[in-house]
Amino acid sequence: MTADQSFLADCRARLAFDLLANTWNAVVIWALRDGAARPGHLRARIGGISPKVLTETLRRLEFNGLVARRARTGAPPRVDYELTALGRTLLPPIEACGAWAFAHGEEVLAAQEQSEQRAAGGR
């Protein structure tokens, strides 16, 4: 990426940022890092995600080639999801963001608290 092209609408880096901007995308990708899972198992592993939002997220990830959906026959029929090879390439950047959050999360929370205190004092 050249300096004159940084973060233009059609820039590849912006595409990556857009993919990771949705909180649930990175969370679902991380939850699938150990292998295929059914939606119910994913919801239990993730916590705090509604069935509707999980379905929307899985469809979005599938559309972008990051997750593969497999329908299994049997009684009852079931569906599971797994990361594609492309989806697996996002694991290191997601892990790096998580490490950054672990290392600097307290600083961010302190800054937020200071900002809220300033705003409350200015009223």
In the predicted model, what is the mean pLDDT of residues 79-87?
97
Least confident of 10-14, 84-88, 99-103: 10-14
Residue 88 · residue 102 · CB < 8 Å: no
DSSP assignment string, 54-77: HHHHHHHHHHTTSEEEEEE-SSS-
3-state class of 41 per DSSP? Answer: helix
Query: CATH assignment of 3-87?
Result: 1.10.10.10
**What's the burial of 54, exposed, middle or buried (CB within 10 Å: 0-12/13-18/19+)?**
buried
2 or 70: which leads in pLDDT: 70
